């Protein structure tokens, strides 16, 4: 039971997972860009190369992941909270765009973008209460 006492609270586990997810998205964008964009509900024609902006998106994911890892490693939880709060805006917009403009529909968009964004914002809320209030 003593081993369980060293597990951080859930909001920290979520915050630790997010940069790993961002780095995974970066790697996936380089390794299998068409599969990654389809999984995110933004499918691209398989017979055409990806638009250059897709690779800018991939680099953005790399930068966010590295920034979060560095801030977390240095125990800068106020900065982590602020950065995750800003990143959540991207999750909200991805959810809306995937549901409306890409034609994916609301339920798939909520499963892929909305629910993870809500979980991330829950973590932001808990971290904000702990480190800002």
pLDDT band of residue 90 (cuts 50, 70, 90) is very high
Task: Report the number of distinct structural domains present in the chain.
Answer: 1
List C-alpha distances in Å: 132 to 21, 55, 121: 25, 35, 15
* Residue spans of alpha helices (H) in the chain: 10-31, 33-39, 52-73, 77-100, 106-109, 115-131
For residue 49, the model assigns a pLDDT of: 94
Which pTM was predicted? 0.90
Tens digits of per-residue pLDDT, 40-67? 999 999 999 999 999 999 999 999 999 9
pLDDT at 5: 74
- Residue 74 pLDDT > 80: yes
121: left (phi over 0), alpha (psi -120 to 50) or beta: alpha
Which residue range(s) make up the domain with 122?
4-131
């Amino acid at each position: 039971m003593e081993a369980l006492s060293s597990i951080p609270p859930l909001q920290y586990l979520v915050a630790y997972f997010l940069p790993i997810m961002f780095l995974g998205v970066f790697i996936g964008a380089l390794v299998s860009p068409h599969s990654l964009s389809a999984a995110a509900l933004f499918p691209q024609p398989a017979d055409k190369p990806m638009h250059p902006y897709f690779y800018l998106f991939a680099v953005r994911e790399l930068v966010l992941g590295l920034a979060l890892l560095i801030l977390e490693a240095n125990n800068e939880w106020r900065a982590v909270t602020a950065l995750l709060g800003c990143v959540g805006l991207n999750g909200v917009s991805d959810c809306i765009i995937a549901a409306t403009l890409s034609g994916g529909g609301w339920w798939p968009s909520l499963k892929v973008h909305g629910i993870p964004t809500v979980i991330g914002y829950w973590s932001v809320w808990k971290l904000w209460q702990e480190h800002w209030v």
